[in-house]
Chains A and B, each alone.
Chain A
Amino acid sequence: MSDTLVPFDEVVAKYDPALGLEVHVELNTNTKMFCGCPTEFGADPNTQVCPTCLGLPGAMPVVNGKAVEGAIRIGLALNCSIAEWCRFARKNYFYPDMPKNFQTSQYDEPIAFDGWLDVDVDGETFRVEIERAHMEEDTGKSTHVGGATGRIHGADYSLVDYNRAGIPLIEIVTRPILVPAEKAPAVARAYVAQLRDLIVALGVSDARMDQGSIRADVNLSLAPKGSTTLGTRSETKNVNSLRSVERAVRYEMSRHAGILDAGGKVLQETRHFHEDDGSTSSGREKSDAEDYRYFPEPDLVPVAPSREWVEELRATLPENPTQKRARLQEEYGFSDLEMRDVWASGALPLIEATVAEGTAPQSARKWWVADLLRRANDAGVELSEVGVTPKQVAEVQALVDAKTINDKLARQVFDGLIAGEGTAAEVIEKRGLALVSDDGPLLAAIDEALAAQPDIADKIRGGNHAAAGAVIGAVMKATRGQADAARVRELILEKLS
């Protein structure tokens, strides 16, 4: 059944959305939430398991103090109150890769509650209220083998990997976010982006959306403009990129409006997001009959973080990324547009590190955002994994500044660095990339170019200095790019004045 979608402009004209986001953050602790098993990503299936995370009869959980610390740090960074005393609860439901058939989570007693995060969208600030941030454990991972789609339907058998079972998760839940309809998709995206930046700054998670270490559930409902009651919400699960968050909100707004315009009733259900076309499809219907039978986990003692500890953690919080961003934009003199690109690409920490090596901010920005980002995108990796370090970028720029190479040659130096051909100096040496520093060959090339284009010489002599460009181009070609264009220009003008 295909959805009837109302164009976004029409949705915006008729309805007000209520947005809610539940973001799961996988903490980067060395051990799991309730046992001492390692948490390394990508290990062979079922090699990081023990009786506790396998849920074997008799095994018992013990809370990981580092995970509690991570939860408190996230809570503090989100301006939350930290519970003086809280408990874990059992959330009882069946799930094939959940070995105990209950998830140990927090229910009515979260570790952090009542906070907020200010989200910037195009210079406008929206305050997103945080209802709670609570601790829980991740489930295992199923692989369905034999079917065409990789889904359980049609599969011959399923394999379960429990390595991920018991990895600590923090679930951050917003209150309904009431924003102008046209802003809803952008606010949703900006919230998740800013939350991710905060998590990165805290150092509590790898914060890789592509590896699922941050994933968002998008709740959305629509109500006719001016209505004070919330509509029925849908919950789009496990959206795993910033762009997808924005698209999911947009799609659900259009879909809900289609149902409401036709006089229909939106079902309260969970939905799957499809990366290929940005659509969502029905998961399972969520009814009131779903009953998790929560009760306090009797195998765990309550968590009671001392106020002294909480204050110690508060004192060590890093600078808020939003404030840091504003500060660095000011210091570096980046325009709003430049800063937006820097931010979106995740280049800011790399630029910061490059500047710390002595490079001018604009030069650092140019290399990371203009050149290296394209290479990272082509290779399908994060900018930080492109194969060049901030220190190397600083070295290359220093060589440009010293006129040993120019920008064009610098790109070839980066090629060599990525290919592992040694240091920048070694790459230049091996590839013969240094600029021609002797005027002799340049003058010869200039003469040759002028001889080939006598009318150009006349134009330059007549005061049209821009015409020198054609001669410079010819000289650069003749020297295979290893000429300093500025020096060539000087020589041309000297010669013809």
Chain B
Amino acid sequence: MSELIRKTAAELADALAAGETTSVELTQVHLDRIAAVDGDAEAGVHAFLHVDAEGALVQAAESDARRAAGETRHLLDGVPIAVKDVLTTQGLPTTCGSKILEGWVPPYDATVVRKIKAAGLPILGKTNMDEFAMGSSTEHSAYGPTRNPWDQTRIPGGSGGGSAAAVAAFEAPLALGTDTGGSIRQPGAVTGTVGVKPTYGGVSRYGLVALANSLDQVGPVTRTVLDSALLHELIGGHDPLDSTSVDVPVGAYVEAARQGATGDLSGLRVGVIKELAGDGWQPGVMQRFAETVDLLKELGAEVTEVSCPTFVHAMATYYLILPAECSSNLAKFDAMRYGLRVVPDGDPSAEAVMKATRDAGFGDEVKRRIMIGTYALSSGYYDAYYGTAQKVRTLISRDFAAAFESVDVLVSPTSPTTAFPLGEKLDDPLAMYLQDLATIPANLAGVPGISVPAGLAEEDGLPVGFQVLAPALADDRLYRVGAAVEAALTSRWGGPILAKAPTLEGGR
């Protein structure tokens, strides 16, 4: 196995700049790693749905040519990346983990994809996900589950399990994910990687196939906080094609990460969210969380407990707003213009074709949410469900606003448990939904959050995530705190947490 794949994106960028390697070599070693460990729906990590070896190598060769001519476009020019299959990629399939989009090749790039292409990052391929980003385990992918590199009998989190597993398994140094209720942070937590959900509107959603438009956000999935900061600065910023994108300059995330890594958090006010911990949370998760909070104190932070009483309603609120929006978004899949078309026998009507296609093309979880959302929006129920949910959403935002009057950041465990065994919660949607208990409030309020590795739970030896939340547009605080925690823990562990993960089969 090439040692290159163990390097962080920042280190790879340095190696490219120093002429110690080439983009083609970097891209090839990651393609080799994918070939060796990724496997398929039956076995292996199965982080990728589509691998674009040819396209990635062409992009890498172009990057090398640029670098040779002294025309590097970006610090990360030439560093390969994986992209969650919910982002449109011109000329490369985009399925959203669904049968209904099988074979669809978009004619356009998502804005974030356009940005990474423009910066010269070769795209290795598209990563697996729960169908239309609905799920917390990547078991709802129509193309088979992704497996956790720490233990392949376990889930890698969801819906962005593919992106997190690809980064954790050293198949890609960087990945893009999307986070609607925790789909970047929770997979980050259970795979020992770093995941960031930026401020809503901080990164363009144009080309992100919407799950719930008012909650979705694109963000980085990486192995270090600094790598996330680098990627976040690259993809962030106003996009005229997305009217919900905020028109403010991108923050100095890299600088914040470097500053945080010095380990000084003196004067920082940290609030521990009372409602996001305690009974029902895995003891090993709570233990690592408590240790990390102590660590913050050691680094000079003032830690207090804060209460956000409406957070207990966040789950119910989320599961009304999300299905409502997704029921509307998914109505466009009518079998007429792209994707799957199932034609029943005989001389079927357009309606019959649509019905058969949706029946075959949408999975159970998707159908469940379409039905809930349709019901929640229907006249006579709108006020009781969707309308009330929007009011509670406002209250949750107020809880955040009140909390951020007394503290600079809020912290909690990212997920109540470590990675659970594949299949365990598949037939229990409510148990599955609880995985996102701690991450959902940030999406409802539009505030940013990060999950950084906090160590391994004693009882199962699996990664635990530490979540930091900041006020809207104060994403830089995530990088400062995240980098400080990361630096302190890495030195305590004697190296990155992923070094403790099992060596996967294969490699060269």
The chain A residues found within 8 Å of chain B, CB to CB, are 51, 54-63, 90, 92, 94, 96, 99-102, 291, 293-295, 298-301
Contact = CB atoms under 8 A, between A and B. Distances in A.
A299 B244 CA distance: 6
A336 to B, nearest CB: 50
B379 A291 contact: yes
B208 A58 contact: yes
8 contacts: A58-B108, A59-B108, A96-B336, A99-B337, A295-B328, A295-B382, A295-B386, A298-B325
A51 B110 CA distance: 11
Contacts of B242: 60, 62, 299
B30 interface: no
Given A57-B96, A100-B331, 19 more contacts: A54-B337, A56-B338, A57-B101, A58-B88, A58-B94, A58-B207, A59-B108, A60-B206, A61-B243, A62-B240, A90-B328, A92-B377, A101-B331, A102-B328, A294-B382, A295-B325, A295-B328, A295-B377, A299-B213
The 4 closest A-B pairs by CB, nearest first: A298-B213, A298-B214, A101-B331, A293-B377
Contacts of A99: 332, 337
Nearest to B375: A293
Given A51-B107, A62-B241, A99-B337, A92 B96 contact: no
Interface in B314-328: 324-325, 327-328
B306 interface: no
A56 B108 contact: yes
Contacts of B210: 58, 299
B87 interface: yes
A298 B324 CA distance: 11
A382 to B, nearest CB: 37
Interface of B: 87-88, 94, 96, 101, 104, 106-108, 110, 205-210, 212-214, 240-244, 324-325, 327-328, 331-332, 334, 336-338, 350, 374, 377-379, 382, 386
Contacts of A55: 332
Contacts of B350: 96
A56 B325 CA distance: 16
Contacts of B379: 291, 293
Contacts of B213: 298-299
Contacts of B208: 58
Given A57-B94, A57-B101, A300 B243 contact: yes
B241 A101 contact: no
Contact of B324 (A295, A299, A300): A295
Given A92-B331, A295-B386, A58 B209 contact: yes
Contacts of A100: 331-332
B391 to A, nearest CB: 13
A293 B328 contact: yes
Nearest to B96: A57
Contact of A62 (B243, B325, B334, B377): B243
A90 to B, nearest CB: 5
A154 B87 CA distance: 41
* Residue of B210, B213, B243 with highest tally of chain A CB at under 10 A: B243
B350 to A, nearest CB: 7
B244 A301 contact: yes
A54 B94 CA distance: 17
B327 to A, nearest CB: 8
Contacts of A60: 205-206, 241-243
A291 B243 contact: no
Nearest to A101: B331
A59 B207 contact: yes
Nearest to A34: B243
B332 to A, nearest CB: 5
Contacts of B94: 57-58
B219 to A, nearest CB: 16
A61 B240 CA distance: 10
Contact of A301 (B101, B243, B324, B377): B243
Given A101-B331, A299-B210, A299-B243, A57 B88 contact: yes
A297 B114 CA distance: 25
A298 B217 CA distance: 13
A291 B207 CA distance: 29
B337 to A, nearest CB: 7
A62 B101 CA distance: 25
A101 B209 contact: no
B111 to A, nearest CB: 9
A144 to B, nearest CB: 12
A439 B240 CA distance: 77
Contacts of A61: 243
A291 B375 CA distance: 11
Contacts of B214: 298
* Residue of A58, A59, A102 with highest tally of chain B CB at under 10 A: A58
A58 B206 contact: yes
A62 B244 CA distance: 9
Contacts of A293: 327-328, 374, 377-379, 382
A56 B328 contact: no
Contact of A94 (B87, B331, B382, B386): B331
Given A99-B337, A293-B374, A57 B209 contact: yes
B108 A51 contact: yes
A300 B338 CA distance: 25
Contacts of B337: 54, 99
Contact of A101 (B108, B244, B334): B334
Nearest to B208: A58
A122 B321 CA distance: 55
A72 to B, nearest CB: 18
A298 B325 CA distance: 8
B106 A58 contact: yes
A333 B319 CA distance: 71
A54 B337 CA distance: 10
Contact of B110 (A58, A96, A298): A58
A61 to B, nearest CB: 7
A94 B328 CA distance: 11
A63 B209 CA distance: 19
Given A102-B328, A102-B331, A298-B325, A58 B87 contact: yes
Nearest to B379: A291
A60 B208 CA distance: 9
A299 B214 CA distance: 7
Contacts of B96: 57
A177 to B, nearest CB: 27
Nearest to B109: A58
A51 B240 CA distance: 15
A293 B326 CA distance: 13
A395 to B, nearest CB: 50
A188 to B, nearest CB: 30
A333 to B, nearest CB: 54
Contact of A300 (B88, B104, B244, B331): B244
A208 B225 CA distance: 60
Nearest to B206: A60
Contacts of A300: 243-244
A100 B210 CA distance: 12
